[in-house]
Chain A
Amino acid sequence: MRKITRLILIFTTLWVFSCGGDDSGFSLGPGNGSSGIGGSTAKFTISGNYMYIANNTHLKVVELTNPAEPKLVHEQTLNVLLETVFTSDGYLYVGSRQEMLIFTLALPHEPRYISNVSHQTACDPVIVNGNTAYMTIHDGQVCRGIQVNLLITADVSDPTNPIQTDTISMIKPLGLTVYEGDLYVGEGIYGLKKFDITDPLHPKLDTFYQKIASNDMIGLPDRLIITADNGISQYTIEHDTLTLQSLLN
């Protein structure tokens, strides 16, 4: 009899836990206080309880402990125009017009500048995959830069001393992401490039999908979401073939 009681107790416990996630009844989001995923050109990003914002020359930190009442807890002015923010493993990577800046988030509410990778004046998003940072820079009307279109790779295994390891000429690179172990870089209206990063410090062009216009993208475990001027498309990949799942326009 005691055995049966114990079994009932175990099953009840399992049942309660298995349903725990749906308590709110509203389950479109991941729940549990999590945040979502943005593209590489995002000017806002969330890490833990903090939101990091690239706003002109200002880097702002907003505390989200009370979700309905965001609180500005830190702000610093930099000498460059900030464009994108990306957090990885306790560090904040900021794309700017002149350089990629690295900040330590040892104190998450107070990013402290530690190093940079400088480049020509141009627009640039940056992402980090493991110990490697990938950034693109492109010229254009808004960017006021000289003619420069590159994919730059840097070793950030020691974030206090990033080392540029590779530069690759591009047409007009914009956003970038890692999906299924490969690096994808949007070339705007010119298409989408897939790079083999078996050697992460030296990407090798694998495929140029000239028919897939792409500005920015998000690589999820099961699909690749791409933004372009004509809409948002979602792809899966199998044996190097990208298959269109849907196009929103």
Chain B
Amino acid sequence: MHYNCFVRFSVREYITFMKFKSVISFLALMPFLTSCGDNLPGFPDMEIQGMRPVYVANEVAPIEKLESQSFIRPGKIYVYGKLLLVSEIDAGIHVFDNTDSSNPQNLYFINVPGNTDMVIKDDHIYANSNGDLVVIKLLEDGVQLTTKQEGFFLEDLEGERPPFHDVYFECVDPEKGRVVGWETTMLDSPDCYR
């Protein structure tokens, strides 16, 4: 977990730190902090490629059947018998009756926040929803969320830092919500590295 060594203390963090720790305990930690300094890649005050945490608020809209909707950002597709499913990137799943492929019927939309991928077996949809694995049962007249395995897709300490090495990243701020993934982007003077 040596990535901690690479975290540069921001002024705000320093003040918070000092609020709770005495000067003496900080000084006691100094050798450990500086011993990692040799490997620091440097934190340039400029735009640089790195990773940014993707947050989700602790309160998100429930997984449920909604009225059919039109596409905004259609993603992956899945064919299950007469059904055609289309992921609406990061938002949910459009369900079509594709019995007549020249005239598919838009049946309904399943609200699945953060969805990108899905498969179906035995009338059960297995989908990702942010960092969770959810199971949604297809019923004759709708859907039913049967299972949610929270954090299934979050590896190791992904809630705290990116799942890759040798990257700059925007430090996690728990006040912004739960980290459910990381995206590659340009960062302005990032303060964290692993």
Contacts and interface: CB of A to CB of B under 8 A. Distances in A.
A88 interface: no
A249 B120 contact: no
Contacts of B96: 248
Contacts of B146: 68
Contacts of B139: 26
Interface string B146-158: 1101001101001
Nearest to A49: B121
Contacts of A144: 184
A45 interface: yes
B79 A232 contact: no
Kindly list the 6 A-B residue pairs having the minimum CB-CB distance in the complex, ordered from nearest: A36-B80, A35-B121, A29-B81, A30-B81, A67-B124, A245-B102
B74 A231 contact: yes
A70 B126 contact: yes
A44 interface: yes
A220 B139 CA distance: 25
Nearest to A45: B119
Contacts of B97: 28
B54 to A, nearest CB: 13
Interface in A207-228: 216, 218, 220, 222-223, 225, 227
Interface size class of A (residues with CB under 8 A): 35 or more
B93 to A, nearest CB: 13
Interface string A105-140: 000000000000000000000000000000000000
A51 B119 contact: yes
A81 B169 CA distance: 18
Nearest to A30: B81
B192 interface: no
Contacts of A245: 101-102
B102, B119, B184, most chain A CB atoms within 10 A: B119
B79 A220 contact: yes
Given A67-B122, A216-B76, A232-B86, A249 B70 contact: yes
24 contacts: A26-B123, A28-B138, A30-B80, A33-B121, A36-B80, A38-B79, A39-B76, A43-B117, A44-B126, A62-B133, A64-B121, A70-B133, A72-B149, A227-B74, A229-B74, A231-B74, A232-B74, A234-B104, A246-B101, A246-B102, A246-B103, A246-B104, A248-B96, A248-B104
B187 interface: no
Contacts of A45: 119
Contact of B77 (A26, A35, A39, A142): A39
B78 interface: yes
Nearest to B121: A35
A248 B119 contact: no
Interface in A153-172: none
Contacts of A227: 74-77, 86
A198 interface: no
A246 B106 CA distance: 13
Contacts of A249: 70-71, 74
Contacts of B155: 55-58
A97 to B, nearest CB: 11
B82 interface: yes
Contacts of B135: 67-70
B106 A248 contact: yes
Contacts of A46: 119-121, 126
Contacts of A234: 98, 101-102, 104
A37 interface: yes
A38 B77 contact: yes
B84 interface: yes
Contacts of B83: 28-29, 36
Interface string A176-188: 0000000000000
